[in-house]
Amino acid sequence: MKLVRWGERGNEKAGIIDQRQQARDVSHLVADWRGDTITAENLQRLRATAVDSLPLLPDDTRLGPCVAQPGKIICVGLNYRDHAREAGMDLPAEPILFLKVTSAITGPNDAIEIPPQANKVDWEVELGVVIGRHGRNLRQEDALRHVAGYCIVNDVSERAWQIERGGQWDKGKNADTFAPLGPWLVTADEIADVQNLSLWLEVDGVRRQDSNTREMVFGVAGLVAYISQFMSLHPGDIIATGTPAGVGMGFKPPVYLKPGQRVRLGISGLGEQHNAIIAAADAGTAA
């Protein structure tokens, strides 16, 4: 199934995508899609429902992030062989982990805002893994049983803040709108082989990233098991599994996002994101 959240920012409700790729309202069955509602019981109830009889949503309905209130976003750095080659770096011996704050999350088609003083804002199409069952110290052979489904994450990054401001990656990863999420949460049963998904990204219609999840250094099952050694995984948590070659930082000279541009990205079976790039207002400080 393809699960969506729809409505105004902060007031989204649960929806589902039918066989004709139309969004329908299921909020009378499930109020919202979050860790404690993405359950086997709720999904089974939907599978037993005549989806085509549910209320259709208007075509211009805003889609929100496909998961509400995730506890954490765990990101994996340098996890594609082609990206490591592009960066001129050795493959990591173990997964490189960092966290992305939940206040960075925005809808799949919302604008990406460039903060004041930011001038090296980059794109990163990534496969997102949504946890469905609590897990800790998981074995790799059991790991995928803890996955509810998959989605698209754009790990938007300000490279100067990430690399040139004291060595903390988190500084460049967590501005508001730096984590477009969705459009859909696709349940795990719909993905035949998570290690064979095409993923791509375009800026103003120019293809910048074009790869496949088989290029991952560490696969999804291995990542879920590995991360669970260091922290508990809870329903609704998201793992962003890394980005392939083609990021702006990798071009010579580098190419970064500017207000007025548009980004389009997708992963096979998981839909597409469409984002306008705008300048964020400088709110300043309260008097």
One DSSP character per residue, 29-42 reads: T-S--BTTTS-HHH
- Of the candidates 233, 221, 38, 241, which has an alpha carbon nearest to the alpha carbon of residue 142? 221
pLDDT at 227 over 60: yes
Give the residues across from 101 on adjacent strands: none
Q: What is the pLDDT of residue 170?
A: 86
pLDDT at 107 over 60: yes
Q: What confidence score (pLDDT) does residue 284 get?
A: 57
Phi, psi of 211 (to 5 degrees): -150, -160
First to last CA, the chain: 49
3-class state of residue 202 by DSSP: strand
161: pLDDT strictly greater than 50: yes
> pTM surpassing 0.85?
yes
Structure tokens given for 148:
């509810």
Residue whose C-alpha is closest to residue 87's, from 252, 275, 202: 252
Identify the residue whose tokens are 């997102």. 128
Tell me the per-residue pLDDT of 53-106, one tens digit each, with 9 for 90 and over: 999 999 999 999 999 999 999 999 999 998 888 878 889 999 999 999 999 999
Predicted confidence (pLDDT) per residue in 111-122, tens digit:
999 999 999 999
pLDDT classification of 37: cutoffs 50, 70, 90? very high
CATH superfamily entry for domain 68-279: Fumarylacetoacetase-like, C-terminal domain (3.90.850.10)
**Domain residue extents for the chain:** 68-279
Say how far apart CA 109 and CA 277 lie, in whole Å. 11
Q: Which amino acid is at 266?
A: G
pLDDT digits (tens, 9 = 90+) for 162-202: 989 887 788 999 999 999 999 999 999 999 999 999 999 99
Tally of residues, the chain: 287
State pLDDT tens for residues 239-278.
999 999 999 999 999 999 999 999 999 999 999 999 999 9
Determine the pLDDT at residue 166: 83
pLDDT of the residue at 30: 94
From CA 193, how far away is CA 195, in angstroms rounded? Answer: 5
pLDDT exceeds cutoff 70 at 283 = no
3-state secondary structure of 72: coil
